[in-house]
């Protein structure tokens, strides 16, 4: 029985390995899809931009300044900072902008209610009177063309949500930020774009993102009971027949965690939220007939992606046990080792990162590739720990707690800053 | 001795073998050669940005340009970066056939260029610009109208504050923009064209002053939120039918003649519009879009592979600009697009 379980684990890891190879090869040799990026002349729809802000005094002025300068008709752009129970100077900073730019910014100061971004966004929907709205986290700095790039896919009546590319800003601060920069590159430049090319399931990421209001209403609005409202929404839209589009050229700077404990908390929250979506939507996705087989398969693999870390650990435990029990595992361990090497951690495999670095035209940062093993190992342990906590919380009936990612920015930066 | 040295040597060798692959990584951490954020797009993507940039570049020559325009003289001037520019004050005919101009050239008045000239640097025209046949331009900024003779080639970009008329067989690489209108003759190849109105004609050079002729057809825009219908497979709208809402098909969408779609249409494979069909919203296809004669489309037309537009088609309107975008676009003469034509690989005007 252990041997069979071991075989299943190896097979699962191998599936993800093949998936990563396919995505990487697609980015180098396949047809690249950017069907909406060229929409230049249009009757642009009215748009509301929601900025999720919880104790964001270090960063909120940067995003407000940047949004006031974007290239989008001012009479069609409504900026709504969602000040979610902040206890620092966030409210004061937002109000100073409201005073300075009358009629451009409509603040929503939330003083109570359920914690968490999804809960805050749910209440902020009362401010959304437009057919399309965009969501940014307060640490993001949109470029001038970003709003148009994120809105243009909504001319496609099948599109329910849009995701842009997140580019780390504080790359050079620490080894961790440099590793996260590589990991983000692999995840967006290769993973997300390949899924876009192949008509699979690009993921709505919750920020630098747009949503069609009617599609959100159709799927029942925000789910405030999830730790990853982005993954949750991706799958509810998918099941309702709406597409999520990835715009690789709609780039926006963000701040990545600079301390390992912050990173660990962040990835554990993602893992728990993702696993929540797995338990809620896997069955529905398997049964859904109104989408292609490839879409269903990719959606299922995407749902299971954070469950693979504990599976991989289980694989190693089984390999050791079987070895000492003298079971005939043959080349199974070697296959597991090879597959694990390409699937480890946050599942942006090393060759995906290398491919992304090449596609981004960066030359020296690729040398850090061996150190990604460190980041992946931390992810592997953290994600497995998150899964374990989730199982325990499920048994004991505990509610999961939402942790905000800590910001490190000390001073405002110039909007649209480049390298 | 060997009992001490041998294990130490083995440990050192093993350590160095482990450390060797990490050496470039450690060096990069120490030297931080590539530790900045990846460059994200800063500009607004406006088609006129090259023209604006050139206008800033030649701003110091505004005074010599005015002096030469008064005197009719030809003067060589130096720019801020040390490069030279030729300021031509006289209007009328300029240059000899097959002449090669190696410097940036600025014309202070309307000018008519000889056949087969080659401009290796950018060209600025304060007045109208009339080009002979088979001229090669690098880039052009004109304050008034531009007339490109047959088989002209523009290598990078062209911007006119007035209208642009491109003669037959011209090749317009890069960006072409005009503040009033762009008229393209049959045989023209293009990439990105943007103007309030873009017309295609058998011979655009004969259309001077008539570029915006023809009846502009108006749309009866539906107010309020539209519902959507999703179809697995193909869908066929028969002649004269009317559909209110957005239609999405995983297969092909066929809209027959005189059919009206009061919404947008999306196809997984192919969209085909019959003669005189009308679409109030956008058309999006993962494959190809065929727009039949006399069709009227209000919103963007986007295809993953190719768009073919027959004659007499109107896309967008003066109040509702639209974009037509695909890797390949073939558009027949006698059609008009209000806004942008963007062929990522090649666009062509056909008979």
Q: Tell me which chain B residues have a C-beta less than 8 angstroms from the C-beta of A214.
A: 225
Domain boundary among B151, B178, B207: B207
**Is B309 inside a domain boundary?**
yes
Residue A330, pLDDT > 80, answer: no
- Work out the burial of residue B333: count CB atoms within 10 Å of its CB; fewer than 13 is exposed, 13-18 middle, 19 or more buried: buried
| Count of other CB atoms within 10 angstroms of residue B17 | 9
Q: Scanning the structure block, which residue is given the tokens 């005073």?
A: A99
Residues of B in contact with A368 (CB under 8 A): 25, 28-29
A393 to chain B, closest Cα gap in Å: 39
Among positive and negative, which fits the CA dihedral B220, B225, B227, B230? positive
**Alpha carbon A219 to chain centroid distance?**
20
- The pLDDT > 90 percentage for chain A reads 60
Instruction: State the nearest Cα–Cα gap between A231 and chain B, in angstroms.
Output: 23
Nearest to A207 by CA among A266, A278, A155: A266
Q: Are residues B104 and B143 in the same domain?
A: yes
Structural domain boundaries of chain A? 1-35+156-402
- What is the average per-residue pLDDT within A54-78? 93
Note the pLDDT of residue A406: 61
Is B39 contained in some domain?
no
Do residues A134 and A48 lie in contact, with contact meaning Cβ atoms separated by under 8 Å? yes
Q: What is the pLDDT of residues A362-416, one digit of tens each?
A: 878 889 988 888 888 898 899 999 999 999 988 887 766 656 666 655 554 543 3
The pLDDT value recorded for residue A407 is 60
Choose one of B154, B177, B207: the last residue of a domain: B207
Q: Are residues B176 and B288 in the same domain?
A: no
Range of weakest confidence among A214-218, A336-340, B57-61, B294-298? A336-340
Q: Which of B172, B207, B242 marks a domain boundary?
A: B207
Is B194 found in the same domain as B318?
A: no
What does the alpha-carbon distance between residue B10 and residue B8 come to, in Å, rounded to a whole number? 5
Residue A347, min C-alpha distance to chain B (Å): 21
Confidence grade of residue A338 (pLDDT, cut at 50, 70, 90): low
| Residue B67, in any domain of the structure | yes
What confidence score (pLDDT) does residue A417 get?
36
Nearest to B35 among A171, A185, A369 (CB): A171
Nearest CA in chain B to A72: B44
B236 contacts: CB under 8 Å, gap ≥ 6: B254, B256
Q: Which of A41, A157, A241 sits opposite B339 (nearest CB)?
A: A41
Among A251, A369, A419, the residue with its CB nearest the CB of B41 is A251
Residue A95 phi, psi (nearest 5) = -65, -30
**Per-residue pLDDT at A59 exceeds 70:** yes
Q: CB of B307 within 8 A of CB of B326?
A: yes
**Do residue B246 and residue B328 come from a single domain?**
yes
The answer on B256 and B187 residing in a single domain is no
pLDDT tens for each residue of B75-127: 999 888 889 999 999 899 998 888 899 999 999 999 999 999 999 999 999 99
Domain assignment present for B322: yes
Mean pLDDT rounded to a whole number for chain A:
88
* Alpha-carbon torsion (A286, A290, A293, A296), positive or negative: negative
For residue B26, tell me if it sits in a domain: no
Residues B193, B77, single domain; the answer is: yes
Tell me the Ramachandran region of residue A116: left when phi exceeds 0, alpha when psi lies from -120 to 50, beta otherwise. Answer: left
Inter-chain touch B28–A370, beta carbons under 8 Å: no
Nearest Cβ partner for B42 among A144, A152, A368: A144
pLDDT digits (tens, 9 = 90+) for B201-233: 999 888 665 555 667 776 666 566 778 999 999
Distances A204 to A56, A115, A192, A269, A330 between C-alpha atoms, Å? 23, 21, 10, 16, 41
**3-state class of B278 per DSSP?**
strand
Helix, strand, or coil (residue A185): helix
Answer yes or no: do A157 and B342 touch at CB < 8 A.
Answer: no
Work out how many domains chain B is built from and give that number.
2
pLDDT tops 80 at residue B285: yes
CA dihedral B68, B71, B75, B77 (to 10 degrees): -40
pLDDT tens for each residue of A301-311:
999 999 988 99
Contacts of B246 in chain A (CB under 8 A): 157
* Closest to A215 measured CA to CA, from B10, B278, B226, B347: B226
Whether B78 is covered by a domain: the verdict is yes
Domain containing B86: what range? 51-207
What token pair was written down for A9?
């684990």
In this predicted model, what pLDDT tens digit does every residue of A239-280 receive, in sequence order? 999 999 999 999 998 889 999 999 999 999 999 999 999 999
Instruction: Over range A327-355, report the average pLDDT.
Output: 70
Higher pLDDT, B293 or B6: B293
B313 & B252 share domain:
yes
Residue where the block lists tokens 């090393």? A350
Point out which residues pair with B139 in neighbouring strands: B157
DSSP-based three-state secondary structure for A26: helix
**CB pairs below 8 Å between A and B: how many?**
156
What is the ipTM for the molecules in this complex? 0.90
pLDDT of residue B351: 86
As a whole number of angstroms, the distance between CA A152 and CA A263 comes to: 33
User: What percent of chain B is predicted at pLDDT more than 70?
Assistant: 95
Chain B residue with the nearest C-alpha to that of A364: B34
- The set of long-range contacts for A317-320, using a CB threshold of 8 Å and a minimum separation of 24, is A318/A2, A318/A5, A318/A6, A318/A9, A319/A6
Which positions in chain B touch A360 (Cβ < 8 Å)?
Answer: 38
The CA–CA distances, whole Å, from A243 to A37, A64, A173, A291, B246 equal 16, 29, 37, 10, 15
User: What's residue A46's pLDDT?
Assistant: 96
| SS3 assignment, position A338 | helix
* Structure confidence at residue B223 (pLDDT): 61
Residues of B in contact with A419 (CB under 8 A): 36-39
C-alpha dist (Å) from residue B330 to A137, B227, B323, B345, B347: 42, 32, 14, 11, 6
Task: Decide if pLDDT at A214 tops 90.
Answer: yes
Q: Are strands B322-332 and B301-303 parallel, antiparallel or unpaired?
A: parallel
Q: Is the same domain home to B202 and B237?
A: no
Q: Mean of the per-residue pLDDT values for chain B?
A: 92
Scanning A326-371, the segments in alpha helix (DSSP H) are 332-341, 350-359
Q: What is the CA A311 to chain-centroid distance, rounded?
A: 22
Q: End-to-end CA distance of chain B, in Å? A: 92
User: How far is residue B238 from each of residues B252, B294, B299, measured CA to CA in Å?
Assistant: 14, 17, 22
Q: How far is CA A337 from CA A14, A210, A315, A342, in A?
A: 10, 40, 10, 9
The pLDDT assigned to A346 comes to 45
CA distance B295 to chain A (A): 18
CB pair distance less than 8 Å for A365 and B340: no
Position A60 pLDDT exceeds 90: yes
Spatial distance between the Cα atoms of A374 and A274, rounded to a whole number of angstroms:
23
Nearest CB neighbour to A214, from listed B32, B225, B316? B225
Distance (Å, whole) CA B173 – CA B107: 23
Over range A348-359, report the average pLDDT. Answer: 86
Averaging pLDDT over each range in A6-20, A290-304, B184-198, which range is the top one? B184-198
Q: Chain A closest CA to B100's CA: distance in Å? A: 35
CA A273, A278, A284, A285 torsion-angle sign: positive
The pLDDT score that the predictor gives to residue A318 is: 86
Instruction: Note the helical H segments in A70-227.
Output: 90-100, 117-124, 146-151, 175-185, 193-197, 213-218
């Amino acid at each position: 029985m252990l041997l069979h379980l071991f075989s299943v684990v190896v097979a699962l890891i191998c599936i993800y390995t093949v998936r990563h190879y396919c995505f990487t090869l697609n980015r180098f040799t396949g047809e690249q899809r950017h069907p909406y990026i060229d929409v230049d002349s249009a009757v642009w729809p009215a748009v509301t931009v929601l900025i999720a802000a919880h104790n964001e005094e270090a960063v909120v002025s940067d995003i407000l300044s940047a949004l006031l300068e974007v290239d989008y008709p001012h009479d069609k752009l409504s900026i709504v900072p969602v000040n979610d129970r902040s206890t620092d100077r966030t409210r004061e900073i937002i109000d100073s902008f409201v005073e300075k730019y009358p009629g451009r910014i409509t603040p929503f100061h939330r003083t109570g209610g359920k914690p968490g971004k999804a809960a805050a966004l749910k209440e902020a929907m009362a401010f959304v009177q437009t057919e399309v709205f965009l969501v940014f986290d307060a640490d993001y700095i949109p470029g001038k063309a970003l709003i148009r790039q994120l809105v243009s896919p909504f001319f496609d009546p099948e599109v329910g949500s849009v995701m842009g590319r997140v580019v780390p800003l504080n790359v050079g601060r620490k080894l961790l930020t440099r590793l996260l920069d590589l990991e983000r590159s692999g995840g967006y430049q290769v993973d997300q774009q390949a899924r876009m090319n192949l008509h699979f399931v690009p993921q709505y990421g919750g920020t630098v993102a747009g949503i069609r209001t009617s599609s959100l209403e159709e799927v029942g609005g925000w789910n405030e009971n999830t730790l990853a409202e982005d993954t949750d929404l991706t799958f509810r839209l998918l099941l309702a027949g709406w597409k999520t589009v990835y715009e690789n050229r709609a780039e926006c700077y963000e701040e990545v965690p600079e301390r390992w404990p912050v990173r660990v908390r962040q990835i554990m929250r993602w893992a728990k939220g993702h696993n929540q979506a797995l338990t809620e939507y896997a069955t529905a996705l398997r049964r859904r007939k109104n989408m292609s087989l490839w879409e269903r398969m990719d959606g299922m693999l995407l749902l299971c992606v954070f469950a693979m870390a504990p599976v991989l650990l289980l694989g190693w435990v089984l390999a050791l046990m079987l070895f000492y029990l003298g079971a005939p595992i043959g080349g199974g361990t070697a296959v597991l080792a090879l597959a694990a090497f390409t699937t480890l951690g946050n599942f942006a495999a090393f060759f995906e990162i290398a491919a992304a670095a090449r596609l981004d035209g960066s030359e020296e940062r690729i040398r850090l590739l061996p150190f990604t093993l460190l980041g992946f190992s931390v992810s592997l342990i953290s994600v497995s720990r998150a899964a374990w906590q989730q199982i325990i919380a499920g048994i004991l009936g505990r509610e999961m707690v939402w942790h905000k990612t800590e910001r490190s920015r000390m001073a405002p930066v110039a909007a649209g800053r480049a390298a | 001795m060997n009992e001490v040295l041998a294990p130490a040597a083995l440990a050192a060798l093993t350590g160095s073998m482990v450390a060797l692959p990490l050496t470039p990584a450690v060096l990069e951490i120490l030297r931080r050669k590539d530790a900045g954020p990846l460059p994200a797009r800063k500009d607004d993507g406006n088609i006129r940005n090259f023209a604006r940039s050139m206008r800033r570049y030649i701003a110091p020559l505004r005074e010599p340009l005015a002096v030469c325009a008064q005197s009719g003289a030809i003067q060589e001037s130096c720019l801020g970066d040390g490069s030279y520019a030729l300021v031509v004050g006289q209007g009328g005919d300029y240059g000899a056939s097959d002449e090669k101009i190696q410097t940036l050239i600025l014309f202070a008045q309307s000018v008519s260029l000889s056949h087969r000239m080659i401009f290796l640097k950018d060209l600025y025209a304060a007045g109208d610009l009339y080009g002979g046949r088979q001229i090669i331009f690098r880039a052009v900024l004109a304050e008034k109208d531009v007339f490109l003779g047959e088989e002209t080639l523009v290598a990078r970009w062209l911007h006119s504050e007035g209208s642009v008329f491109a003669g037959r067989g011209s090749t317009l690489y890069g960006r072409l923009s005009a503040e009033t209108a762009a008229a393209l003759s049959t045989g023209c190849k293009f990439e990105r064209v943007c103007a309030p109105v873009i017309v295609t004609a058998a011979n655009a050079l004969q259309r001077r002053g008539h570029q915006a002729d023809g009846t502009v057809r108006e749309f009866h825009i539906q107010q309020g939120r539209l519902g959507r219908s999703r179809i697995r497979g193909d869908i066929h709208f028969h002649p004269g039918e009317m559909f209110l809402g957005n239609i999405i098909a995983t297969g092909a969408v066929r809209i027959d003649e005189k059919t009206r779609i009061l919404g947008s249409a999306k196809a997984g494979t192919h969209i085909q519009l019959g003669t005189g069909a009308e679409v109030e919203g956008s058309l999006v296809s993962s494959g190809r879009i065929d727009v039949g004669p006399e069709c009227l489309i209000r919103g963007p037309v986007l295809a993953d592979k190719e768009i073919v537009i027959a004659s007499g088609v109107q896309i967008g309107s003066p109040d509702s600009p639209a974009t037509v975008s695909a890797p390949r676009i073939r558009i027949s003469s006698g059609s008009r697009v209000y806004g942008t034509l963007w062929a990522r690989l090649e666009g062509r005007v056909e008979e």
